[in-house]
């Protein structure tokens, strides 16, 4: 069973690595354990600044509670994914406003996708994003 889980994890990481949309994966404690180049560029941060860091360290303080509530709502089974606007704070303190989609992954971790500013119903990346979660 562990081999199957690891194979799925590697497949997910390969998709994310190649995805042009900024993506990340956290563990159950909220520490970033995988990001793609697009996410690194979005935050203007190096991989070493992101991996192992708490995801919440990059979320604007005024947006943290709303996102936490949405994730709890999703984890309780009331929703399959979270879609909402979110502001990230870059290491240089500049704000980046995004549309984020968060979905659970096995082991209580989360995978997040930073979506382009578009209507989710007409977003060209919507099908790709939903297939990855």
Q: What is the pLDDT of residues 41-99, one digit of tens each?
A: 989 999 999 999 988 999 999 999 998 888 888 777 776 777 788 889 999 999 988 88
Range of the domain at 94: 2-132
What is the domain-level CATH number for residue 89?
3.30.450.20
Round the CA-based radius of gyration of the chain to a whole number and report it. Answer: 14
DSSP secondary structure letters along 19-51? -SS-EEEE-TTSBEEEE-HHHHHHHT--HHHHT
Q: Using CA atoms, how far apart are residues 107 and 128, in angstroms rounded to an integer?
A: 22
pLDDT band at 122 (very low <50, low <70, confident <90, very high): very low
pLDDT of residue 70: 84
Count of structural domains, the chain: 1
pLDDT band at 119 (very low <50, low <70, confident <90, very high): very low
Q: Using CA atoms, how far apart are residues 127 and 74, in angstroms rounded to an integer?
A: 20
pLDDT of residue 105: 66
Instruction: Please give the model's pTM, rounded to 2 decimal places.
Output: 0.73
pLDDT of residue 57: 93
């Amino acid at each position: 069973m562990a081999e199957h889980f690891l194979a799925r994890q590697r497949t997910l990481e390969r998709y994310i690595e190649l995805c042009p949309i900024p993506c990340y994966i956290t563990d159950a404690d909220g520490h970033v354990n995988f990001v793609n180049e697009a996410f690194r560029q979005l935050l203007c941060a190096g991989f070493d600044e992101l991996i192992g860091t708490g995801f919440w360290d990059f979320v604007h303080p005024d947006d943290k509670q709303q996102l936490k509530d949405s994730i709890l709502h999703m984890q309780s089974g009331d929703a399959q994914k979270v879609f909402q606007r979110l502001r990230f704070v870059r290491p240089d303190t500049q704000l980046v406003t995004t549309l984020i989609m968060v979905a659970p992954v096995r082991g209580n971790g989360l995978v997040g996708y930073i979506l382009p500013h578009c209507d989710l119903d007409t977003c060209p990346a919507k099908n790709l994003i939903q297939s990855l979660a």
